[in-house]
Structure 1
Amino acid sequence: MHRPPTAEARMAEELAAVRPALLPRFTAELPGARAAVLTRLWRAFAHEPLPWITGRVRGAHSLALRLADGRTLYGPHADPYATSAYVTEVRLDRAREVDPAALMTALGVPDGACFAAELADSVASLALSRAAAGHPREWPEHDWEWERRVTDGHPYHPNCRSRPGFSVADQLAYGPEHGPVVKLGTVPVPADGCLVAGDWPAELRDGKRLLLPVHPWQADRVLKRSYDPWRPARPLLSLRTLALPDGPHVKTALSARLTSSVRDISPYSVEAAAPLSALGEELAARTDGLLHVTRTLGAVSAGSPDLAALLRESPEVYAAPGERVVPVAALATTALPESPGWLAAFARLALTVGLHLLDLGVALEAHGQNLLVVLAADGTPLRLVYRDLADIRISPARLARHGIAPPALTGRLVTDDEPALCRKLFGSLVAGALAATAGSGPALGAALSAAVPDLPGTPGLRALLHGPLPAKALTLMRLSPRTPGDQWTSLPNPLVLEACRSDQ
């Protein structure tokens, strides 16, 4: 029987046609990419509430996972906060598995076949990202240069580099890690049929029509329509957001599945853009200069999530001469986190701001892409910049208690539920941005332990200090396509583990 080529083979064939000089490096990067994705997958198996894992037995040197069908998976102990690719193989009973997609196929769990295909795509795309990555200087000048350094994508999601629907040529042309210039276009739409927030610039108006910036991949593959050339731009971490040469960022409706979900710009997001931007400014004003929130300049939806755009301030406007604004996801590409003192100072800054805003009534989605840090010339963390308020959580009751008028919003952004607010902040900031910057549970625990004594004793801090740490169950979510919304798991609290180590 003829079997279709694997994702790795397909990508190698395409690469041989469009960039043959890169093929040897791509091939050399494949084993490391498999280990990186397998490590993320094993983390999920060890810590997420997957229904077909019925028991976990932690031995002296390994972890055994009992499966519902009677088989057993064996692998190393799983540090939920580690970012190094330390899992090079696992065993399914006696069978040795080194490929995450092959392992997922062998497990034969519900909805596993689609996930296995995504894992295969993630491995191949990750190898391509690493193969083509340049070696920019230690302190880049521009925001897009920092963002291209993040070759590996999400630090904990097995689909860290999955880009279904993107050919090799597409990835080279649009992936930020490849450093391309993307030629954005515009499509005209009748103004009277659009939902508009903020000030839409004159440059993007044509009489009774609005000109919507559009990503060329979206125009060709989703909209299937022609577009007029507009301006060159550099892609950022989210792929669909790009930096114009003169600063503003353009968030396009690039309807592609990246890691967990299909991205677009919903009418709800456009409607919420202006009040969220105003709320962000008010919150930033209450942080004694420790936080800036990038303003939304304008947003438009032409009646479809596939045809919309948003213009936002560049975080670079908040950097003084000699300073750099760095996405937290890019910090791991520098030597800064190797210093325990620096890591503790950064954790102290991030927690001071995040817990203060939580007390005021807003839980940030402060993962490594949305959260940026302003660094002094010597690398000292000075203050934070936050961008993209589209997935924060807002507590009207808490805001009102602090004399802040809640924005006139309803829907998924609004909740007074305390556990939901804590999950949003702790899952993104502590189990996400800080953990990935630290790179391991022990390093994260040490940094948090050093930072906590200097933090105000808010209810949010008390919640952080007790019990497990919430994190999104990323693999469970991909294996539960009929369950909408976020699903969560509980990770060992690195503060508790550090306290235990200190007592020994």
Structure 2
Amino acid sequence: MLLTRTTTFTADDATATALLNCLVREVCAPEQQIWPDGAHLIVRLPRVGVVLRARLARPPAGPTYRLLPPYEERRDDDWIAAPWDRLSNLVAGELELATGQANPEFTAQVANSHTALTAILKTRGDSSPGELPSEAVRRYVESEQSLVAGHRFHPSPKARQGAPEQWLPYTPETRARFQPHWLAVREELLAEEGEPNAFDPLEALGPAAPPGYRALPAHPWQLSLLGDHPALQRALRKGLVRDLGLCGPEAIPTSSVRTVYVPAADLFCKFSLDVRITNCVRKNAWYELTGATVLNRLLRPVFATLSARFDACVLLAEPAYRTVALADRHLYEGLGVILRQGVGDLPGTPLLAGALADPYGTLLAQLPAMASPDSALTWWQQYVKRVALPVLHAYLDHGVVLEPHLQNVLITVNDEGMPVRAVFRDLEGTKLVPRHGLLDELADLPPRIRQSLTYDPERGWNRVVYCLLVNHLAEIAAAVADLHPELDPELWTTARSLLSAYEGARRPELRALLAGVPLPAKANLRARWARTADRGAGYVTAPNPLATQAPLCT
């Protein structure tokens, strides 16, 4: 059976599917409590003693299943419907018995995600993508704003703090647009680092600041959250900060919600949001503000080398940040904005990798290169070559841990939809490991900043492998196989051949991957249950499709 790639789905089905995906990957598969039964997958929760079944869209490929509703629970000799809220309670019961810990917040988080998705689906249908400077930018923006259902392997992928009416005007899934809320900050209170004049193109389109002041863009949602902050109120009363209101060019939220694209300036603004979205409060910590400018400087020569070797791959620069220094860390972080290079000068059409992999989307199927199995296989070969090789080389030869998950990578395509180059972004997850002396450049930084920019080699390699293979390439391969099931297992045979031919294939880390060592898969379900910060999430093992005899999901 071929999975129908369509944007038509319900919040009930998407919520239930995400829960089951997590349950299978993190609990039942590691304990060998799943087995195929014709067109279904049987899933047993060993501690609560419940057996579930889900439809299989097609035979499993690599480390992932494609599960389809209806989802059912075994009662005596019958299969009865198991709706999303029943599944949420069952998962909570299983995890409580498995860990010996309760989490009364868990089912509420799942319900919050379901409520948010319901609101998004209702609102999105009445939205318009609006006018944009070019067809390439239009397609790019649509890809950023297409991830309606969210992460397939997260139990509450659309969980958002606040009522829908608070965040719907700023959410990418509804194709929102808004003007930034500008502040004028006394020059002596403006804190910034990085390249001089980096903010000039944005300031030129915004409101004119009074003499002795500089303009600072803010996210309207964030400013509403900080509006009653005593230090900000004092600064406004004393004239240290002036409120310039909503004005200037339109901003378009990207898939991360808090990062917006300003087409008129061809720049991104990564704002702080004191709001929990999915796992984390989306705030620019003080050490992340400085860290972005440090990494931007250190990685410029690294990416010059990578670009020369690997099809002109690009790291979107983060040349500067700006905030207000009012002797209050909450405001320093809360009003901090990191500037990021835009996409207007990239050749071809940039598309978000997550949109190509989305099983509920149609973007991949729309590419002309996907019309036949032969051209789809060529597309996959070019995709793996352009994404995987620079990521591996960055780690193995430069000690740079990129974070190439589906929302951190753009792929530019030509008119036929064939990949042209990989574009990497977001320095927040980029780290350095002790290799080739880059860490020496951090010696004079405060300890907290150094800590935020580094990983030990094991943690760094696990992050690279998870993001690149499990989160990214496995999902892209599954999306290609949805369109052309006959390509399994040729997709992974092709990927293995490419990686085997890479000059770093003799390195121990890559040899282990090619030998079939299990892959680290981030345990989002267990992290949510333990109420662990995202950066502290652990891993479970997943089958490695690069093995000579690639294992199935068993």
> Paired residue for 1:240, among 258, 264, 267?
258
> Paired residue for 1:147, among 126, 138, 144?
144
| Cα offset, 1:367, TM superposition | 1.0
| Cα offset, 1:491, TM superposition | 0.8
Aligned length: 462
More off after superposition, 263-272 vs 452-461:
452-461
Distance 1:307 1:266 in 2: 10
Identify the residue that residue 275 of structure 1 maps to in structure 2. Answer: 294
1:314 aligns with 2:314: no
Gaps of at least 5 residues in structure 2 are 1-6, 234-242, 358-362, 371-375, 444-448, 482-487
Distance 1:135 1:219 in 2: 26
Distance 2:548 2:103 in 1: 33
Structure 1 counterpart SS, 2:426:
coil
Structure 2 counterpart SS, 1:461:
helix
More off after superposition, 138-147 vs 33-42:
138-147
Identify the residue that residue 88 of structure 1 maps to in structure 2. Answer: 70
Contact 1:324 1:376 in 2 (8 A): yes
Amino acid across the alignment from 2:436? L
- Specify whether residues 189 and 246 from structure 1 end up closer, same or farther in structure 2 by C-alpha distance, changes over 3 A only: closer
Identify the residue that residue 386 of structure 1 maps to in structure 2. Answer: 424
Identify the residue that residue 321 of structure 2 maps to in structure 1. Answer: 299
Distance 1:370 1:54 in 2: 28
Contact 1:256 1:263 in 2 (8 A): yes
Identify the residue that residue 342 of structure 1 maps to in structure 2. Answer: 379
Distance 2:14 2:193 in 1: 41
> Paired residue for 2:110, among 119, 134, 138?
119
- Specify whether residues 31 and 178 from structure 1 end up closer, same or farther in structure 2 by C-alpha distance, changes over 3 A only: closer
Distance 1:54 1:153 in 2: 24
Structure 2 counterpart SS, 1:157:
coil
More off after superposition, 244-253 vs 154-163:
154-163
Identify the residue that residue 373 of structure 1 maps to in structure 2. Answer: 411
Distance 1:388 1:377 in 2: 27
Identify the residue that residue 239 of structure 2 maps to in structure 1. Answer: none
Distance 1:81 1:55 in 2: 15
| Cα offset, 1:55, TM superposition | 4.3
Identify the residue that residue 451 of structure 1 maps to in structure 2. Answer: 498
1:229 aligns with 2:220: no
1:472 aligns with 2:522: yes
Distance 1:238 1:482 in 2: 20
Q: Which has the higher contact order (CA 8 A, sep 6+)?
A: 2
CA deviation string 1:84-139 (max 9, x = no partner): 55243142766845333332235443454422222223233334434525697996
CA deviation string 1:8-66 (max 9, x = no partner): xxxxxxxxxxxxxxxxxxxxx9963322222222122122259xx99443344243434
Distance 1:81 1:213 in 2: 43
Identify the residue that residue 219 of structure 2 maps to in structure 1. Answer: 215
More off after superposition, 242-251 vs 148-157:
148-157
**Mapping of residues 8-407 of structure 1, within 5 Å:** 32-48=10-26, 55-61=31-37, 62-68=41-47, 70-76=48-54, 82=64, 84-91=66-73, 96=80, 98-106=82-90, 107-108=92-93, 109=96, 110-131=101-122, 132-133=124-125, 140-142=136-138, 143-168=140-165, 170-171=167-168, 173-193=169-189, 195-198=191-194, 199=196, 201=199, 203=203, 208-224=212-228, 228-231=245-248, 232-244=250-262, 245-287=264-306, 288=308, 289-302=311-324, 303-304=329-330, 305-317=333-345, 319-320=346-347, 323-332=348-357, 333-335=363-365, 336=367, 338=370, 339-359=376-396, 360-395=398-433, 397-400=434-437, 406-407=441-442
- Specify whether residues 59 and 278 from structure 1 end up closer, same or farther in structure 2 by C-alpha distance, changes over 3 A only: same
Structure 2 counterpart SS, 1:377:
coil
Identify the residue that residue 24 of structure 1 maps to in structure 2. Answer: none
Distance 2:49 2:548 in 1: 31
Contact 1:370 1:387 in 2 (8 A): yes
Structure 1 counterpart SS, 2:388:
helix
- Specify whether residues 178 and 310 from structure 1 end up closer, same or farther in structure 2 by C-alpha distance, changes over 3 A only: same
Structure 1 counterpart SS, 2:336:
strand
Identify the residue that residue 4 of structure 2 maps to in structure 1. Answer: none
Amino acid across the alignment from 2:351? V
| Cα offset, 1:423, TM superposition | 1.2
Aligned CA RMSD, in angstroms, stands at 3.3
Identify the residue that residue 428 of structure 1 maps to in structure 2. Answer: 467
| Cα offset, 1:251, TM superposition | 1.0
Structure 1 counterpart SS, 2:283:
coil
TM-score by length of 1: 0.81
Amino acid across the alignment from 1:216? P
- Specify whether residues 233 and 500 from structure 1 end up closer, same or farther in structure 2 by C-alpha distance, changes over 3 A only: closer
CA deviation string 1:175-232 (max 9, x = no partner): 2122222111123445545542113635386555443321111111344476622322
Gaps of at least 5 residues in structure 1 are 1-28
TM-score by length of 2: 0.74
Distance 1:59 1:500 in 2: 14
Identity among equivalent positions (%) equals 22
Distance 1:197 1:101 in 2: 48
Contact 1:56 1:66 in 2 (8 A): no
Identify the residue that residue 413 of structure 1 maps to in structure 2. Answer: 453
Distance 1:391 1:182 in 2: 27
Contact 2:143 2:352 in 1 (8 A): yes
